[in-house]
Amino acid sequence: MGPSPSIPATTLVTLAAFSLAAASCGRAATPPPRDLARIPWDSLAASARGSTVTWRMWRGDPSINAYVDRWVSPRLLQRYGITLNAVEGQGAEIVNQLQVEKEARAGGTADLVWINGETFHQLRQADLLYGPWSGRLPNAAWVDSASPIISRDFEQDPMGYESPWGTVQFALIYDSARTPAPPRSYAELRQWILAHPGRFTHDQGFTGITLLKQLMYALGGGVERFQGGFHEEVYATASERIWRWLEEVRPALWRGGGSYPPGVAELHRLFANGEVDFTMSNNQNEVMTKVAQGIFPETARALLLRDGTIANAHFVGIPANAPNPAGAMVVADFLLSPEAQLEKARSPVWGDGTVLAEERLPGDWATSFAELARNPRALPRDSLARYARPEVDPEYHERLAREWRSRIRRGGS
């Protein structure tokens, strides 16, 4: 009997047992949700009482988090008995997660996801969303489905697989103290960049590519040319113009156009600290929340270009493997309620546009929306409407991103 290998032996056995136990505790793949469309709404809502809904959403903005955690969450608990668990998750992460979960036949972890555009496209293509369901929400009746911004997500028909939540419009952001006379069109922007070398750039992420997409509309003769699906020839001509435009201004960009900030947050930092004079946002009201948070100087303002900026809606979807789709639907319905939409639209809260057709709302709702405290920094609604341009097929965005990386950034195709 020697001094023991029994120590390693027992440990190895324990370890193996532990892993097996952990594996067997693993969630078995949940069966696809029953056809909840058959169940009347009230029973559905009742069945969700006492359950938890896990909502994967972008959690990078404290204002949005405050709205969700401190306004939406308590009301959901109080009125519907639903505990909302809002966790971080964006676009690509969500798609990857759902994809790998499907491949591994693992159970789902998210009940509700905050998505739009590309993400929706990928999820639908890979058949990762539950649906159709959004049409049966009671509050869906108030949605402004006549609006092209809301009824289409990057030109795709949601077909009930996602429910609209809010609308935003792209805007440039500038400092009125530093730049009293900002450019108002892409042509003027080009002049401005050349006249102020090193003071403009865009980020590598979604917002930066959206800027290029708008440039594409402007240089390509208007958004109408790009509607109705993706057209290779249309894209090819327009993108050549974009690359030429970018190459012309490249030497005058920040860092000589050799380096671009990784994300829009870094761009915000450059702007706030005076390294560049412009930043941008997909949400025209972000400038107000950031000023309130002390991240932007008080003289920061939003700017629309006369060539038009992209307005789009963002949505919530339910993954196909959601453990609690009924609860998710109740949450989505509450998010659509006039009360929740009004609160969300207030500037100090979030300033996110509503998806509801205000004129059709009963009672005083229409007036309440109209009376939303007008912040002098906010862009006037008629300007927003006049310069709003819809999104087009997501393939345009994907191609722009990929080719920008390989042709202009040259970083890693």
Partner 1 sequence: MALADPARRELKAVRWGLLAAALVASPVVAGVVYSAAAATGLAGFGPHGFSTDRLTRVLGEPAVWESLVWTIRTASLATLLASALAVLVAMTFRRSGRVDKLARTLAVLPLPVPHLVAATTAVLLLAQSGLLSRLGFAAGWLAGPADMPPLVYDRAGLGMVLTLAWKELPFLALVATTLLATRGAALEETARGLGAGPWDTFRLVTWPFLWRGLLPPVVAVLAFAAGSYEAAAMLAPSDPLALPLLTLERYTDPDLARRGDAFVLVLVGLMLTGAAVGLHEWVRYRTTELRG
Partner 2 sequence: MSGVLSAGRIAGLLGLGLSALLPMVLLAIWSVGDRWFYPALWPSRLTAESWRTLLSGEGRLWAAGATSMLLAAGTGAIACIVALPVGRALARLDGWRGHLGAAMTFLPVAAPPVALATGLQFSFLSLGLGGRPIGVLLAHAVPAVAYVSLYFTGVFTGFDTRVEEEARSLGASAGQTFRFITLPLLRRPLAEGFALGFLISWAQMPLTLLIGGGAVRTLPIEVFAFVEAGQDRIAATGALVLLVPALVALAAARLAARGTEVAAL
Which parts of this chain interact with partner 2 (CB under 8 A)? Answer: 3-8, 11-12, 15, 19, 22-23, 25-28, 54, 56, 59-62, 65, 87-89, 93-94, 97, 100-101, 103-107, 109-110, 263-266, 268-269, 272-275, 290, 293-295, 297
**What does the alpha-carbon distance between residue 349 and residue 352 come to, in Å, rounded to a whole number?**
9
Answer yes or no: are the C-beta atoms of 153 and 391 closer than 8 Å.
yes
Cα distance between residue 143 and residue 34, in whole Å: 26
Residue span binding partner 1 (CB under 8 A) among the ranges 1-9, 59-67, 328-336, 373-381: 1-9
Q: Which stretch binds partner 1 (CB under 8 A): 36-44, 156-164, 243-251, 271-279?
A: 271-279
CB 126 within 8 A of CB 88: no
Residue 413 contact, options partner 2, partner 1, none, Cβ 5-8 Å cut-off depending on partner type = partner 1
CB of 148 vs partner 2, minimal distance in Å? 30
Residue type, 167: T
Q: Which residue has the tokens 């402004």?
A: 144
**C-alpha to C-alpha distance for 391 and 11, rounded to whole angstroms:** 58
Asked whether position 3 contacts partner 1 by CB under 8 A, the answer is: yes
Residue type, 154: F
Partners of 379 in beta bridges: none
Stretch that binds partner 1, among 6-14, 157-165, 176-184, 340-348 (CB under 8 A): 6-14
394 binds, among partner 2, partner 1, none (CB under 5 to 8 A by kind): partner 1
Q: Minimal CA–CA distance to 271: which of 221, 210, 199, 212? A: 199
Kindly identify the residues of this chain, within the stretch 196-255, that bind partner 1 according to CB under 8 A: 198, 204, 255
Assess 294 for contact with partner 1 (CB under 8 A). no
Partners of 389 in beta bridges: 310
- Least separation in angstroms between residue 215's CB and partner 2 is 24
Say what the alpha-carbon torsion angle 338, 309, 180, 346 is, to the nearest 10 degrees: 10
Cis link prior to 132 (omega < 30° from 0)? yes
34 binds partner 1 per the rule CB under 8 A: no
Q: Which of 113, 137, 129 is nearest to 44 (CA)?
A: 137
Residues 79-118 that bind partner 1 (CB under 8 A): 91-93, 95-96, 99, 103, 118
Measured distance CA(225)–CA(283) in Å, rounded: 25
As measured in angstroms, the least distance from the Cβ of 250 to partner 2 is 25
Which lies closer to partner 2 via its Cβ, residue 85 or residue 145? 85
Task: Decide: 342 and 351 in contact? Cβ < 8 Å.
Answer: no
User: Based on CB atoms, which residue is closest to partner 1, 196 or 346?
Assistant: 196
Q: Which one, 15 or 370, has the nearer CB to partner 1?
A: 15
Residues of this chain that interact with partner 1 (CB under 8 A) are 1-3, 5, 8-9, 12, 15, 91-93, 95-96, 99, 103, 118, 122, 125-126, 198, 204, 255, 258-262, 266, 269-270, 273-275, 394, 397-398, 401-402, 406, 409-413
